[in-house]
Structure 1
Amino acid sequence: MKNINCTQTKAWHNLKNHFQEIKNIHLKSLFSSDKNRFKKFSIKFGNEMLVDFSKNRITEETVQKLIILAEETDLQDGIKLMFSGAKINYTEDRSVLHIALRNRTNKKILINHCNIMTDINSTLQRMKQFSQLVIDGIWKSYTGESISDIVNIGIGGSDLGPYMVTEALRPYKNHLNMHYVSNVDGTHLNEVLKKINPQKTLFLISSKTFTTDETMTNANSAKKWILHYSKSISSLDKHFIALSTNVDNALKFGVHINNIFPFWEWVGGRFSLWSSVGLSIILSIGFHNFEKFLDGAHAMDNHFYEADFRKNIPILLALISIWYTNFFHSKTEAILPYDQYMHRFPAYFQQANMESNGKSIDRNGKKILYHTSPIIWGEPGTNGQHAFYQLIHQGTQLIPCDFIAPIISHNILGQHHLKLISNFFAQTQTLAFGQTKEEIIKEQKLLKDSNHNIKKILPFQICPGNQPTNSILVRKITPYNLGSLIALYEHKIFVQGYILNIFSFDQWGVEIGKKIAQNIYSSLYYNKNTIHYDSSTQGLINFYKYFA
């Protein structure tokens, strides 16, 4: 990949000047001066999705200058490198090919002259056959009973991804009960164990290396739990499945070779739900729906690879995000799904975005003097309206928001969905245009409030508006549409990282805390202080030891 400091480009310089020209222009003015604004700043993806980015503090000139930035940093070359299997994960010397996992065509994708599609399709076929056995009740436990409960044990991408998807696609769920355990806090596993029967439970151990401490701690406790009831090591063959790149470690744990579903080093953990890590998704919604899920993502991959930058949804959303983060100096972005099933969607992209682009060293190994990843957060639907929307409407922070909603609900209950979608439209409108002093006075007079009341509370009612939003409407949250939506955000993250000249597919910062935790664990377990800690950490350890 080319190492271009985006701030040293001519495009960046022009964007700085352009920002000074339009930074105080209100969205009201942008809309009133252009009756075709929505048409110019919205894109349909097939017949299932509409992305409206017209309520952003941008003009056609802004978009053009941002696209020139993408061209000057040679984004097109970066996209081609990723899709070709080049080792763009430079610090770990790996390719980044989660796009291959949803490419179920006959097209070849080569790594070291080997067509990786052969192994991908072979693993998919195994997953299909295995999941059918479990769903149909043919797979039996050590007592000969059918499986009723699936427990996925993982952390990070091995948990957040499949958990988010199975929740989002709950309307397609079969009879199997799904559970997800991630936290090394014993409470998380113990509360799940209380609900399940060892004679009817299947554990999926999801760990790329099969060494992740939190995952393996939970996995070993689950193993002891099964053995406590079964009294036989052979029972593990019926109750433990490994999803991992490390076959040897899975075998040492006690997983039968036939129960190991591989994925590959070129699959990043936070992009792994498309691989065997997605086995819990298949067990929840069936392989046919999983295929549709892959197809939706593949359609977005094709759009990302082929569409002109001016009509390329992930690229435009990424550029707009860079615009806010580096020119308006916005620190956060909110993802706000108006669909209860998608309640884990913001949490999933907290990891995907911040673990990918939460970097302060560029691809040249130099300290970065501009902003990289914004802080990602959010909550579903009207819950957020009664919590943090107050700050977005009247606070001092500029918080760009993505609003996501289905047109058709999976649950028709009176006027619920109509009220939900009305709130969706109302919030984006109010955030954009606000409420002026004159509008409030007119409204109050219509309600026949006293002038005294108007004067008293008027300053507190004014909403300045001019808060930017993207609106994403999908016909319905189906496997296909969810796949497209997730892939959209994945590619947005890649574009941001590429233009900002950082490596998006490593996470060295995560590793540092793990090492220190292991050292502290050893000293606590053996009750030996072999390492000198700072006074704060040592004081905390001493207080812990007093009660432990």
Structure 2
Amino acid sequence: MTESIHDHATRLRDLPLAELVSGEAGTRAEPWYEHRVGPLLADLRKHQIDDPAWRALFELAEARGVLATRDRMFAGEAINSSEGRPVLHVGLRARPGECVVEGEDIGALAKAVRERMAVFARSFRAGELKGATGEVLDQVVCLGIGGSELGPNMVLEALREHVPAGVTIRFLSNIDGSAVNRALAGFEPERTLMVVTSKTFTTHETLHNASSVRRWIEAGVGADGVGAHMAAATASPDRARAWGVPEDRIFEFWQWVGGRYSLWSAVGLPIVLGVGPERFEALLDGARELDRHFLESPAALNLPLKLALLGHWYATGFDARTHAVLPYDARLGRLVDYLQQVDMESNGKSVTAAGQAVDGRTGPVVWGGPGTNGQHAYFQLIHQGTHTIPADFLIAIEAPPGREDHHAILMANCLAQTRALMVGKAQATVEAELAAAGVDADTIATMAPQRTFSGSRPSTTVLLERLDPRALGAVIALYEHKVFCQGALWGLNSFDQWGVELGKVLAKELLLVVQGEVALDDADCDASTRALIEQIRAASSD
């Protein structure tokens, strides 16, 4: 099967992509190159692939049981094999009765928590939530790291115009003391609500940061009043209570909610506070539309599966090692940060769920950022570098209010980049342009190759009707399911993250050395780390 993929890639690799798109080369008779799903339209035409290659990829997905694994996930089977847990983030956005696992209605459970969150958020957004001194709480510090921060922060940035005037919401994830100072700069303890998000309520960075913020609030309102300034989202409510969070401010989620798939749960409390319960429900509705499409569509019409297969196609047949995500919308400025965790923490693995070394490439490096900024930074590499870099372009059709002229320019740039990547610019054309400008032959011989664009650089374009909660939810779920499909295709467990753990263990050991509680001679250190600690100690003692 892999040999067949290589054969098709060899057949298509040197065909001009523009000719594939126009029908002059390859075979494209099937309606497989454009997909409309809910508020999204995905154009897959600008890819170095044709119908026979797609069929080979569909056969590979069938042979590796990708959609069968999908069915097991939706059925609530424990597909997170290393932890013995089901993977039910899809259940968080299901309607009551749609996702029942071992007699438990997952949709109803999630809805009950969201209803509590909605009551709390409406009080906050109406200015009725007050702290210990009677001041309105309108300054929020959200404490969490990884999935507890990346998803909610990304969504709030995308929908920031819906945050009430006078309300400021900030996130604090990094243990760096400068991050603490910046998060609290200009805030007043009497007006500050801290939201602590931790699945276990033991995450070291989060709890240390939270303790610092709690002490800061206590200094302003007193130790007895700090509870009025706290809320928490956790799967360990007993620990939150022990830490001092009031019972009615603890919003629970479950062990089967993976961190990078958790924004749909109580982890989304900052989103609800910021944009309101109704928009949070719309976010879930958009994701649910993608869930239904993913669950019910056959392989040839299944957009998340096809995006996953394209990633495998380029990794296997074109030696692609990175994937660029290029949202032409400043509001999606944190999307890439979020997707880096969803993709690279899920599939950045070299051992299968069966404990065997993988055969071939797995998760790519995911990178990118908003256009048009990227055009003046790294697009040079995408256009003329030596790497094959598949790219996703995302843009909303509807302009921001009152900025139609700006949006027309943004749209033109987005479309122009995808076309330029596809068609390139032939050396003969460059030579003719230089000659017409009066450039001498020797200079043309040197300059023309540098100004030549090979073209045939692949891209997907995703059009959103508008950037609203529904469309954003659909985009997030689209990438979630794409990553799931690639993990299944490669035989990985996409729902654990052992690569995070080793560094945590070593950090605990080294903290004792850095703080001077363990002598350097007694520490298990390599020569490099030992030398660095010696330099740090020498500088600190000056």
Match of 1:261 in 2: 251
Q: After TM superposition, give the deviation of residue 191 of structure 1 in Å.
A: 1.1
State how far apart, in whole Å, the 2-side matches of 1:446 and 1:30 are: 31
Quick check: 1:511 aligned with 2:510? no
Q: After TM superposition, give the deviation of residue 484 of structure 1 in Å.
A: 0.3
Secondary structure at the counterpart of residue 336 of structure 1: strand
State how far apart, in whole Å, the 1-side matches of 2:515 and 2:451 are: 57
Secondary structure at the counterpart of residue 187 of structure 1: helix
Aligned residue among 218, 230, 241 for 1:227? 218
Match of 1:499 in 2: 489
Contact 2:35 2:303 in 1 (8 A): no
Aligned residue among 263, 283, 291 for 1:301? 291
State how far apart, in whole Å, the 1-side matches of 2:433 and 2:334 are: 38
Contact 2:5 2:316 in 1 (8 A): no
State how far apart, in whole Å, the 2-side matches of 1:386 and 1:271 are: 33
Match of 2:231 in 1: 241
CA shift in 2, pair 1:287/1:34, >3 Å: farther
Match of 2:354 in 1: 364
Q: After TM superposition, give the deviation of residue 38 of structure 1 in Å.
A: 10
Quick check: 1:534 aligned with 2:526? yes
Secondary structure at the counterpart of residue 405 of structure 1: strand
CA shift in 2, pair 1:362/1:46, >3 Å: closer
State how far apart, in whole Å, the 1-side matches of 2:103 and 2:39 are: 37
Secondary structure at the counterpart of residue 151 of structure 1: strand
Q: Structure 2: any 5+ residue segments left out of the alignment? A: none
CA shift in 2, pair 1:180/1:326, >3 Å: same
Contact 2:92 2:264 in 1 (8 A): yes
CA shift in 2, pair 1:422/1:448, >3 Å: farther
Quick check: 1:543 aligned with 2:535? yes
Quick check: 1:193 aligned with 2:201? no
Aligned residue among 295, 308, 313 for 1:318? 308
Quick check: 1:181 aligned with 2:178? no
Q: After TM superposition, give the deviation of residue 304 of structure 1 in Å.
A: 0.3
| Amino acid of the structure 1 residue aligned with 2:414 | F
CA shift in 2, pair 1:134/1:500, >3 Å: same
Q: After TM superposition, give the deviation of residue 458 of structure 1 in Å.
A: 1.1
Q: Deviations over 1:380-431 (max 9, x none)?
A: 0011110011111111111110011111122433621111111101111111
Q: Is 189-198 or 526-535 further displaced after alignment? A: 526-535
State how far apart, in whole Å, the 1-side matches of 2:432 and 2:99 are: 65
Q: After TM superposition, give the deviation of residue 257 of structure 1 in Å.
A: 1.3
Q: Deviations over 1:174-211 (max 9, x none)?
A: 22211011110011111121221111111110111111
State how far apart, in whole Å, the 1-side matches of 2:66 and 2:277 are: 35
CA shift in 2, pair 1:389/1:369, >3 Å: same
State how far apart, in whole Å, the 1-side matches of 2:226 and 2:197 are: 16
State how far apart, in whole Å, the 1-side matches of 2:141 and 2:528 are: 38
Q: Deviations over 1:284-342 (max 9, x none)?
A: 11111111100000000000000111111100000000111122111100000000010
State how far apart, in whole Å, the 1-side matches of 2:4 and 2:175 are: 49
| Amino acid of the structure 2 residue aligned with 1:418 | A
CA shift in 2, pair 1:303/1:139, >3 Å: same
Aligned residue among 66, 76, 101 for 2:92? 101
Q: Deviations over 1:207-235 (max 9, x none)?
A: 111111111110000010011111233x2
Match of 2:426 in 1: 436
Q: Is 443-452 or 378-387 further displaced after alignment? A: 443-452
How high is the TM-score relative to the length of structure 1?
A: 0.94
Contact 2:282 2:469 in 1 (8 A): yes
State how far apart, in whole Å, the 1-side matches of 2:155 and 2:30 are: 32
Contact 1:43 1:311 in 2 (8 A): no
Q: Deviations over 1:130-177 (max 9, x none)?
A: 100111111111111212111111111111100000001123222221
Contact 2:326 2:393 in 1 (8 A): yes
Q: Is 236-245 or 293-302 further displaced after alignment? A: 236-245
State how far apart, in whole Å, the 2-side matches of 1:152 and 1:501 are: 36
Match of 2:130 in 1: 140
State how far apart, in whole Å, the 2-side matches of 1:456 and 1:106 are: 68
| Amino acid of the structure 1 residue aligned with 2:266 | S
Identity, in percent, stands at 38
Aligned residue among 314, 322, 332 for 1:332? 322
Aligned residue among 405, 417, 433 for 1:415? 405
Secondary structure at the counterpart of residue 82 of structure 2: helix
State how far apart, in whole Å, the 1-side matches of 2:164 and 2:24 are: 49
Secondary structure at the counterpart of residue 45 of structure 1: strand
State how far apart, in whole Å, the 1-side matches of 2:126 and 2:435 are: 66
Aligned residues: 536
Match of 2:510 in 1: 520
How high is the TM-score relative to the length of structure 2?
A: 0.95
Q: Structure 1: any 5+ residue segments left out of the alignment? A: 1-10
Aligned residue among 413, 416, 425 for 1:426? 416
Computed over aligned residues only, the root mean square deviation of the Cα atoms, in angstroms, reads 1.8
